[in-house]
Structure 1
Amino acid sequence: MWSDWEVTSSRETPVPADRSRADDDPESLQRIAVDVAREAGRHIARRRPEVFGRGGAPSVADAVQSKSTPTDPVTVVDTEAEHVVRERLAERRPNDDVLGEEGGGARQAPSGVRWVVDPIDGTVNFLYGLPAYAVSVAAQVDGRSVAGAVEDVVRRRTYAARLGGGAWVSDDGGEWIRLSVRDVDDVSMALVATGFGYGAARRRRQGEVVGALLPQVRDLRRVGSAALDLCMVAEGQVDAHFEHGLSPWDWAAGALIAAEAGARVRTPSPHSRSSDGEVTVAAAPGVADAFSALLDSLGALDPIPDGAGAQ
């Protein structure tokens, strides 16, 4: 149930040896990811009161638009933040590819370094002023995350990891603290984070899964940012996370952080998109097999593509 990539992408994973440039090493890429995510986070924090004011309604014309459905928004600040990230990456890594949620990029993972960027993961929270949204920046080689950072914008906490180097968190540029998943061995006591898609048909099927899962675990949490969910697994604030329909920019950094903190992680293929409905799972090792078996018994390891269950 766990693919080779996810099972082995932990602290013991060797760094791929086929890179020719010294500055392609994961430590260098992690530093860039941290710097860029923090700068974009500062931009978002500064712009929100300018765009939304104190009343919460947008004060800039066309500040909010819809993407896949009317309930799936994008704001002018999403676009600005991705521009900040792309600009900084172009300065420091001009030959690399960039895949961003708002600006697009090649669907197929290139053979060199590809940066995978979500300028605001948790846009609905950002829109409503709920304090759970993040910038996610990851470097991938051959479709595999080798370094990444997630900036918790409101709490000004930076999560970071590199392949084989462990997972870390720092508050506002202070001391780095190593992360480790929670020691739990009973799936019935597992606190589980999840999220939902924007299409009605997928939500209907996700609701069925949640209804069957809830009596069999401690409880469920719906934070509204997959990147932060995965970091919460790494920090031991939840024991597991699962969600259908994440795109690479949603999981590329957070999944690596969770894995480097000791979690067992299953991700979609690196060229997938939300519409494919593949599942992302991260769990503390003590409950990983039981949690995966539980999801499998509910059919929740299968994709839930857009339109699933539609009549």
Structure 2
Amino acid sequence: MRICEARTVIITGAGAGLGRAYALAFAAEGANVVVNDIRLDAAEAVAAEVRAAGGHALANSGDICSIEGAQAIVDAALAAFGEVHVLVNNAGILRDRMFLSLTEDDWDAVMRVHLRGHFCLANVLGRRWRDAAKAGQKVDARIINTSSGAGLQGSIGQSNYVAAKGGIAALTLVQAAELGRYGITVNCLAPAARTAMTEAGMPDMVKKPESGFDVWDPMNVAAIVVWLGSPLSARVSGRCFEAKGGEISVAEGWRTGKIRDKRARWEPAELSQVVEELISEGIPPQKVYGS
């Protein structure tokens, strides 16, 4: 049996790249797919691919960055398929520059699409699912957010993107803690694949090979996303998965390290040795990409 039979999923930024791969993979596992993309023609093309393969899809170009737009997307999904069970927050943009060269517009545009875009649909659907749970209905819902290796470890020349993606990883923790009581799980993904963004930033690295396993194919990442959207993942929440090619891992985030307790107030001059010892005893952080 297909693992997402009769479930409905909204996927943002689904007109190409990873979003397109997710749409095709969810449909192959029986899901109804709402293909959301700011470019309606791209959304329609992916929806047509899904239908040509025997699946069910709705193309949608609604605004993910406003509550009004998010509600309209959800309403369209409900009209077409009756219910929504899964949200995949995938849409994103880049405005890459070294930190001191960033403009306010570079910063605000990235925050709007990534952070506000992750907020609006999750808020609208979360309230719907909460109300259903309080009314005694069984809810088995999923929110799948998109962070990035850049958001987890940092990346030179991408401080706005890094800040947004790091915020999404932290947001996932709080959403999972707050929404679990209503039958909603929340996880995030840090994917590595060939997309318009990675082709622009590192074209030689992500280039499709002439033969052999295509490590950067977006379809490689789709399996974990579909699993997270299925009933099989009901016991997993508040986690960040990294996926690339045939690799999959669960990120280990910030946690309290070794402690020195003087049981009194520290003098500033005392702290040099203490900090040096704490750093030497801890696990070294991964290097920032590009450093």
Q: Relative to total residues, which structure has the larger helix share, 1 or 2?
A: 2
Scaled by the length of structure 2, the TM-score of the pair is 0.29
Higher Cα radius of gyration? 2
Scaled by the length of structure 1, the TM-score of the pair is 0.27
Q: Relative to total residues, which structure has the larger strand share, 1 or 2?
A: 1
